Structure 1
Amino acid sequence: MSRMLVDKDAIRALADILTETGLTEIEIAEADSRIRVVRGGVVQAVAPVAAAPAAVAAAPVPAAAPSDPAKHPGAVPSPMVGVAYLTPDPSAPQFVQEGAHVSAGQTIMLIEAMKTFNQIKAPRSGTLTKFVVASGDPVEFGEPLAIIE
């Protein structure tokens, strides 16, 4: 049984790069080794599925709904875990209304994480066709926030 050696200095250096650049993921590969560091990610465990009876297994499995916002090519994913806000404060109008044109880099909402309000900017120009979250909704890393077409 071989034992894998972990280069802790390389992991620390990659974590520092993530912090400095604001990236959420970085990976390096050399020869037969690979190191991947992810910040703010959600770990999901996948449990094995028990075999279904033959009658159930023969039933057609519905395809993913085309209205699934996470699969939409214009989805704007959350870069962090927090609480989404569509307005700069409760008495102010929304940053952007659904159906409005947005420019790349324009603030479309805020996410509060650890008592800090982070601006979420449009990654590309287009029409903001739909907000997938409402003001005050908790959001997870990678969860779709809005659709820009």
Structure 2
Amino acid sequence: MTDGIRFDPAQIRELARILRDTDLTEIELVEKDSRIRVVRQVTVVPAAAPASATVAVPAPTAPQAAAAAPSEPAEATPPAGTVTSPMVGIAYLAPEPGAPPFVQVGSKVAQGQTLLLIEAMKTFNQIKAPKAGTVTRILVENGAPVEYGEPLMVIE
């Protein structure tokens, strides 16, 4: 409500309803000189959601993940310090093309330090270290697509 621009609360509620109903995490509406962006925080539910089949969109991918598990039993449980993707998107290991990566194998990181970016819906999301430690493995390549829950790095 700055600069004399007024937003309709009913319109904002409608955008929030669309987010909830379509399982999106972000929506933006641009009209002339005004812009409304509504973002909702997604609660990360570990593997229990696909098993319960309460989420309509991920349900088709659950059988594929279950089918892959018997062929690779060693990878069924990720190492203790594994950082997983909180969303679907494209992983970038550096802040921009040609720049050095945020971290490399052997890098010491502090809790909250940016490890990589995931681009989702033209928004770059910083993925931060959940704890201090040393990066022992980087499991994704720069520019690679990632899925929700996919292991990205291991910090020990």
Q: Deviations over 1:73-99 (max 9, x none)?
A: 111010000000000001100001111
Q: What are structure 2's unaligned runs of at least 5 residues? A: 1-16, 26-37, 46-52, 65-69
- The structure that is helix-richer by fraction is 2
Q: TM-score, normalization: structure 1? A: 0.61
Q: Work out whether 1:64 is the aligned partner of 2:80.
A: no
When the two chains are superposed, the root-mean-square deviation of aligned CA atoms in Å is 3.2
Q: Work out whether 1:74 is the aligned partner of 2:81.
A: yes
Q: Work out whether 1:23 is the aligned partner of 2:35.
A: no
Q: Work out whether 1:142 is the aligned partner of 2:142.
A: no
Distance 1:73 1:86 in 2: 21
Given candidates 88, 95, 98, the residue that maps to 2:105 is: 98
Ranges of 4+ aligned residues in structure 1 off by more than 3 Å: 18-21, 44-47
Query: Which of the two has higher C-alpha Rg?
Result: 1
Distance 2:150 2:58 in 1: 11
Instruction: Using the TM superposition, give the Cα deviation of residue 64 of structure 1 relative to its aligned residue in structure 2, in angstroms.
Output: 1.8
Q: Work out whether 1:42 is the aligned partner of 2:58.
A: yes
Instruction: Using the TM superposition, give the Cα deviation of residue 102 of structure 1 relative to its aligned residue in structure 2, in angstroms.
Output: 0.6
Q: TM-score, normalization: structure 2? A: 0.59
Q: Deviations over 1:44-86 (max 9, x none)?
A: 3549xxxxxxxxxxxxx88722xx3852111101000000000
Q: What are structure 1's unaligned runs of at least 5 residues? A: 1-11, 27-35, 48-60
Tell me which amino acid in the other structure corresponds to 2:139: V
Shift in CA distance, 63/86, structure 1 to aligned 2, threshold 3 Å: closer
Tell me which amino acid in the other structure corresponds to 2:130: P
